[in-house]
Structure 1
Amino acid sequence: MKILGFYQEFWPEKAGTPAGGIRDFVRQQPSVDETDVAQYLGTGHELVVFMGAVGDILGSDERILGGDNIVTDGEWVWRADLAFYLTRYHLELPEEFLNKARENQYVVPDVDRDRLLHVDEEVDLIL
């Protein structure tokens, strides 16, 4: 399991060493496939679902419904609000993840139940 959007503001210390603060990954311009990547992020398999909305930690007054939900593509896990931050602030994401999304033509692959349960167990250990 790999954590996408592993920013110090979003993940607990138990998860390991974060990539840095989210502000370190904000970019002025979107990538050419940002919309497609955001769609990929928005269609991940839900592992952990919380009721409610979270505020934008970078300063807008927007709230993201279910933003702290955890989703996966079977390999990577991320918070549901990552798509919001990607499209609003043009976050730089790891090339390894982008390559996977591109290879899958921006469609989250089907993941068998056993794999989802395994990833869910890993997430439970760090939350």
Structure 2
Amino acid sequence: MANVPAPFRISEPEAGFDAVVGSLSGSDEFVARLSRYLGSAQGLILAPGTGQSPFSDSEKMRVRIGMVTDGVWVWHVAWSDYVAYHRVTPPAEFLQHIESVDFTVPDISVDRALEICEEIGLPMPD
């Protein structure tokens, strides 16, 4: 188990989440759809590098760095990697939201993405 930043609704503060490796049940197709959703949302802030996975001691197990949104929730893009490589289950309410939109990420305009950055306190370019 590792405590990682939890996905959060735009109107709520970010919090930690005790994530468990191997806790995600479902077919390989389900896991792939979920990972694709988590990795293909609108970027808010993305880094060109990677960071150490909190679920592995191997230097080779890396995760992407950045934050993304679907216009309702915000999460670290590493969640896509947590799901794909470690089968970590996201928080139930977030997973229900993703299923309710049939794993389809909506288009978010750049203007809306910038508004979300401001709402959640991400640094804005000058």
Q: TM-score, normalised by structure 1?
A: 0.71
CA distance in 2, matches of 1:39, 1:123: 26
Secondary structure of the residue that 1:88 maps to in structure 2? helix
- Paired letter, 2:26: S
**Contact 2:5–2:15 under 8 Å retained in 1:** no
- Relative to total residues, which structure has the larger strand share, 1 or 2? 2
Return the alpha-carbon distance in structure 1 between the equivalents of residues 16 and 52 of structure 2: 21
Aligned position for 2:116? 119
Q: Residue 108 in 1 paired to residue 105 in 2? A: yes
Mark the runs of 5 or more structure 2 residues left unpaired by the alignment: 7-12
Residue 28 (structure 1) shift: 5.0
* CA-atom RMSD in angstroms: 2.5
**TM-score (ref. length: structure 2):** 0.71
Matches within 5 A, 1:35-54: 35-54=32-51
Q: Distance in 1 between matches of 2:17 and 2:52?
A: 21
Question: C-alpha offsets along residues 48-80 of structure 1, whole Å, 9 cap, x if unaligned?
Answer: 02121212222232223xx11111111111111
Given residue 72 of structure 2, which amino acid in structure 1 is its aligned partner? E
Unmatched segments (≥5 aa) in structure 1: 1-6
What secondary structure does 1:71 align onto? strand
Q: What is the one-letter code of the residue matched to 2:62?
A: R
Q: CA deviation at 1:40?
A: 0.5
Cα offset, 1:106, TM superposition: 0.9
User: For 2:33 and 2:49, how far apart are their aligned partners in 1?
Assistant: 26
**Which residue identity does 2:107 align to in structure 1?**
D
Q: 1:99 aligns with which of 80, 96, 116?
A: 96
Change (3 A) 1:55 1:17: closer
Structure 1 residues 102 and 83: alpha-carbon distance in aligned structure 2, compared to 1, 3 A threshold: same
Question: Per-residue CA shift, 1:9-32, capped at 9, x if unaligned?
Answer: 458xxx554233x3xx22255334
Q: Distance in 2 between matches of 1:78 and 1:95?
A: 14
Distance 1:37 1:16 in 2: 21
Q: 1:17 to 1:110 in 2, by over 3 A?
A: closer
Once the two structures are TM-superposed, the CA of residue 92 in structure 1 deviates from its matched residue by 1.5
